[in-house]
């Protein structure tokens, strides 16, 4: 995620310092940025010159003191472990200038867990990106109990400036908005998959070609209102009455799935070397949508 977040700021015109624990990891991340930008150029989302300019804005360092020099805004994207994030936030608090905002790309933790020892309580915020973060527009900006309105608004405005689609999440709660909604859908998909109601491919095709097709353009709430128009509500009441009692409400991972994931198996069985090609094709399609819906 870190290389994509860095790329997003560099494409938005900001001098960006990317940091990790070793130079090898940073070189690899720069390689992934170049690879991603080649796809941006191939899809005419940016020109070669804009891509080269973005690369020119990124420097790398494994030294936090170098990162901290003159920095206005930091977004951490390290491993999702509370203690590690806590230690990093405390170190950043000690070395960054007093005005620097400290943001976290955590996907499941809340600021109250890992930001509690930071002195600049008003300048901490969660910015939750979605993979791939340099392409998917939405970023959830989550206000912690101590985040000031100034920090919240500055972060929101900064993300808009780099052409992201920030969303204001006004109270901290685990999973924020999007992962909670996604988990609700996944719970039902896992249940249908385990019961063998349809194949893996057909479950994906069903979502992609139905509500997935609509969702990129209109959200689920407008979708629902439009479906019920002009007798708004009637269809919603009927659907809820018919289905809410039928769908999964489990609080556990189905055993078949946890076993599969523990043995590092996903739903599909592609050979390792095919993944790069699949990701390339995915990114090309996403970039077309990004251009059409958000960057036109």
Residues making contact with ligand NAD (CB under 6 A): 1-2, 20-21, 25, 77-80, 84, 88, 105-107, 129, 131
**DSSP one-letter code for 119:** S
Q: Which is nearer to ligand NAD, 126 or 290 (CB)?
A: 126
Peptide linkage before 190 cis (omega within 30 of 0): no
For the bound state, the minimum distance from the C-beta of residue 222 to ligand NAD, rounded and expressed in Å, comes to 26
| Spatial distance between the Cα atoms of 54 and 37, rounded to a whole number of angstroms | 9
Beta-strand ranges (E) seen in the chain are 16-19, 58-61, 73-76, 101-104, 124-128, 138-142, 165-169
On whether the CB atoms of residues 141 and 152 are closer than 8 A, the answer is yes
For the bound state, the minimum distance from the C-beta of residue 7 to ligand NAD, rounded and expressed in Å, comes to 13
Q: Which is nearer to ligand NAD, 79 or 221 (CB)?
A: 79
For the bound state, the minimum distance from the C-beta of residue 131 to ligand NAD, rounded and expressed in Å, comes to 3
For the bound state, the minimum distance from the C-beta of residue 3 to ligand NAD, rounded and expressed in Å, comes to 8
Q: Which is nearer to ligand NAD, 174 or 233 (CB)?
A: 174
> Residue holding tokens 């999440």?
169
Q: Which is nearer to ligand NAD, 227 or 278 (CB)?
A: 278
Q: Which is nearer to ligand NAD, 83 or 217 (CB)?
A: 83
Residue 175 buriedness (CB in 10 A; 0-12 / 13-18 / 19+) = middle
CA dihedral (57, 58, 60, 66) in degrees, to 10, reads 50
- The set of residues, in sequence order, having a beta carbon less than 8 Å from that of 155 and lying 6+ positions away, is 73, 101, 103, 125, 127, 141, 166
For the bound state, the minimum distance from the C-beta of residue 49 to ligand NAD, rounded and expressed in Å, comes to 29
| Spatial distance between the Cα atoms of 98 and 279, rounded to a whole number of angstroms | 40
**DSSP one-letter code for 126:** E
Q: Which is nearer to ligand NAD, 107 or 151 (CB)?
A: 107
For the bound state, the minimum distance from the C-beta of residue 64 to ligand NAD, rounded and expressed in Å, comes to 8
């Amino acid at each position: 995620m870190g290389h994509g977040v860095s790329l997003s700021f560099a494409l938005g015109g900001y001098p960006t310092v990317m940091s990790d624990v070793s130079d090898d990891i940073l070189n690899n991340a720069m390689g992934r940025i170049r690879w991603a930008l080649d796809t941006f150029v191939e899809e005419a989302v940016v020109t070669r010159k804009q891509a080269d300019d973005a690369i020119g804005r990124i420097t790398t360092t494994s030294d936090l003191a170098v990162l901290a020099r003159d920095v206005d805004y930091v977004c951490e994207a390290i491993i999702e472990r509370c203690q590690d994030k806590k230690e990093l936030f405390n170190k950043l608090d000690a070395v960054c200038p007093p005005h620097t905002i400290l943001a976290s790309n955590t996907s499941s933790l809340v600021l109250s867990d890992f930001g509690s020892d930071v002195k600049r309580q008003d300048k901490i915020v969660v910015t939750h990106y979605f993979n791939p973060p340099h392409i998917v527009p939405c970023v959830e900006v989550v206000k912690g109990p101590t985040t000031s309105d100034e920090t919240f608004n500055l972060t929101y405005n900064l993300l808009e400036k780099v052409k992201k689609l920030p969303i204001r999440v006004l109270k901290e709660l685990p999973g924020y908005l999007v992962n909670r909604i996604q988990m609700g859908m996944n719970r039902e998909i896992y249940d249908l998959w385990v019961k063998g109601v349809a194949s893996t491919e057909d479950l994906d095709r069903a979502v992609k070609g139905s509500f997935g097709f609509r969702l990129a353009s209109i959200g689920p709430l407008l979708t629902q209102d439009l479906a019920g128009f002009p007798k708004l509500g009637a269809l919603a009441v009927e659907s809820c009455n018919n289905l809410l009692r039928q769908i999964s409400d489990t609080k556990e991972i189905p055993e078949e799935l946890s076993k599969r994931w523990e043995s590092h198996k996903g739903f599909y069985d592609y050979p390792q070397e095919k993944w790069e090609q699949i990701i390339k094709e995915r990114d090309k399609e996403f970039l077309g949508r990004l251009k059409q819906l958000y960057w036109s």
